[in-house]
Structure 1
Amino acid sequence: MTARDFPGWDSVVFDFSDVTAKAEAADAAADATLPGQRGGEQGGEGAAVGATGSVGAAGAAGPVAVEQAVAKAGSVLAGRRPPFVAMLAALVLLGGAVSGQFLALLAGWALAYVAPKLGEWTRKLAAFGIPLITMAGSTVWYWGRERGRWGSPLGAGQQLTQVTWSAAPGVLRLAGVLSAVFLVGVAMRRRRSAEGQGQG
């Protein structure tokens, strides 16, 4: 493009100074805003990563916390329930003591011996210890009466063995009641201790 293309003009001048200045101003403004945008983008990315990590940690810890709470509640509730076999043994022993059925007493002591939630010594004491101690106490009592050490003397012609065996049914019924009371006491004590642990 020359001056010949424009008759009557000596020269043609294209001035791009305004366009250049505007372009430089726009570039400067863009350069000024880019660091802030980059910082905001980085901050947003960091926040997103932190939120994702928090959600992941909460998601991972949530099921574990729920399982622990359920397990604790289950253990507390299981501890609050009295031992079933022990309570059944106590009921059978009381029934045998009231009815005077020796087989029922034997069944109650057998249940007490196999109660799963009782300790070994507790089971042995309920099934064997209390009946033997009761029978031994009865024998000692009649022995002392025969010897004149305490109580009224035995009747004429009465012997220690005869009197002891004649009193055995009543003594065994008493032993059944004592074993039942012992089992109920142990069950209630375990329940109170479990409730105390649950509240703690």
Structure 2
Amino acid sequence: MKKDLGVQPAIYPMPVLMIATYNDDDSVDVMNMAWGGICARDMVALNISRGHKTTKNIEQRGAFTLSIADVAHLDESDYFGIASGNKVADKFERTGMTTTKSTRVDAPVVDQYPITLECSVVEMQEQPYGLRVLGKIENVLADEAVLDEEGKVDPAKLGAFAFDQFQSGYYALGEKVGQAWDSGKRLV
């Protein structure tokens, strides 16, 4: 029997995404975000509030990078969600992480994250439920360590983790349990 839980953001798994931007003084800002993802083949959508430093930076620079957080950097990734760029000017520097300037967009690439999408802003949509930022994926960068022998990203090597909105936990991902567009063929 199912129990009524009421209205809540009950989707699992939620990605743990790291949005990196440059501040006015060219210092780095990184924000931990779960409410975003792919919305078209070459587009991402971020659902973000206006009050974030990251939102201001995205609007001013017209660009951002979006990285997938990995277990190896879970503490730093969580810190990016704890500390506010509006209150902690050296938020990024405190983690000891490093960046490289993107060659495609006006945003930093966090060197330690294994996958990074370099994105340019297409549109900032004011919605009744908040702000949606649509970004065009200009390029995807991947560390060679997470690639298989064919040059494709191997999720088992990625070390990604998901956010659990039910109990506010993080859970490691990576075990393959089926093959898309194949596992269900027995039902055809």
TM-score w.r.t. structure 1 length? 0.20
Bigger fraction of residues in helix: 1
Per the normalisation by structure 2, the TM-score is 0.21
